[in-house]
């Protein structure tokens, strides 16, 4: 789960190494002193430290994402029990981005692709919370979990559809 969050720093580091080399060459051509070249190399060491700091932040961000999911999933499950039968369906809805296939989502959450197709049809036909987007039949979620919880609580008090306010009913 946490692996989904992150920034690939390799191209940035490669570019910085190239820039450093070019800068040192330019300084040598300009007759720079060893102290000036040393200062330039200190900047590179500072950039390496920053890279390490960013990687540390990424690790903490992944841990926080996992913790938030752990804390919030039961709240979502309780609030949307009429729509989702459990954590696997919640995760499948979350992964329904219009790009992922039934096979891909199924393998990520441990169910077969037919199960994902069944869930998508149910969510489309009964609740209108997904729409078909891809030419391979992928579906995309229409609402965040917060929107779903608000709409679901309103529909219990005032039976209506889950359509957005600008949609015609």
Tell me: do 11 and 72 sit in the same domain.
yes
Backbone torsions φ then ψ of 49, nearest 5 degrees = -65, -45
Q: What is the pLDDT of residues 61-113, one digit of tens each?
A: 888 888 887 887 787 778 788 889 888 999 999 999 999 999 999 999 999 99
Torsion angle defined by CA atoms of residues 95, 99, 104 and 110, in that order, rounded to the nearest 10 degrees: 20
**What's the structural domain count of the chain?**
2
Rounded CA separation 164/147 (Å): 10
Query: Are 53 and 13 found together in one domain?
Result: yes
What's the whole-model pTM score? 0.56
Rg (Cα) of the chain, in Å, rounded? 25
In a domain, residue 166? The reply is: no
Q: How many residues does the chain have?
A: 169
| Average pLDDT for 128-151 | 88
Whole-number Å distance between alpha carbons of 86 and 100: 20
């Amino acid at each position: 789960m946490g692996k989904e969050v992150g920034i690939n720093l390799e191209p940035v580091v490669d570019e910085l190494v190239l820039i450093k080399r070019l800068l040192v060459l330019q300084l040598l051509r300009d007759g720079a002193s060893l102290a000036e070249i040393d200062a330039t190399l200190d900047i590179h060491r500072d950039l390496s430290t920053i890279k390490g700091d960013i990687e540390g932040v990424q690790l903490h961000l992944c841990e926080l994402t996992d913790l938030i999911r752990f804390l919030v999933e039961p709240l979502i499950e309780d609030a949307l029990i009429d729509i989702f039968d459990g954590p696997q369906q919640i995760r499948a809805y979350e992964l329904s981005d219009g790009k992922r296939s039934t096979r891909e989502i199924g393998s990520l959450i441990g169910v077969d692709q037919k199960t994902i197709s069944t869930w998508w049809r149910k969510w489309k036909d009964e609740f209108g919370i997904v729409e078909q987007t891809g030419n391979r039949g992928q579906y995309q979620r229409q609402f965040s979990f917060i929107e779903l919880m608000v709409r679901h609580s309103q529909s219990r008090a005032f039976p209506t559809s889950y359509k957005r306010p600008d949609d015609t009913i």
